[in-house]
Amino acid sequence: MAYNSAGSGQEQFEKTLESLDAKITKLKTEWQTFIMGIANSDFIKGIIDAGTKILSLLNSIIDKLSGGNGLVKSVFSLITAFGAFKAGGAIAKGVLGNVGTMIGVNAGK
């Protein structure tokens, strides 16, 4: 009789694992759908396109200022990258703060 109890316990354990696995799979699927929805957003695509155009313009300016000199270009690139990261951080903080305000959370405060 103890053997049957162990077998029943094992069956229940396997059912529980299958149920948990199914729930985790569903969560992963919903997460991927959510992320793809954000990635396919016209707003996000617009930000990426604008960023690409800005970087293209900056590269053009750096090329003209450096006259093809690699060292000067590298220095300008580092300065530009630092400024872009700093500006990007400020923009991200502003956007996240606005989203937090919309949903009732004070982000970054």
Query: pLDDT for 5-60, tens place per residue?
Result: 667 777 887 777 788 888 888 899 999 888 887 777 787 788 888 989 999 988 88
State the CB neighbour count (10 A cutoff) for residue 15: 10
**Closest C-alpha among 108, 77, 86, 81 to residue 95:** 108
3-state secondary structure of 75: helix
> Would the pTM of this model clear 0.75, i.e. be above it?
no
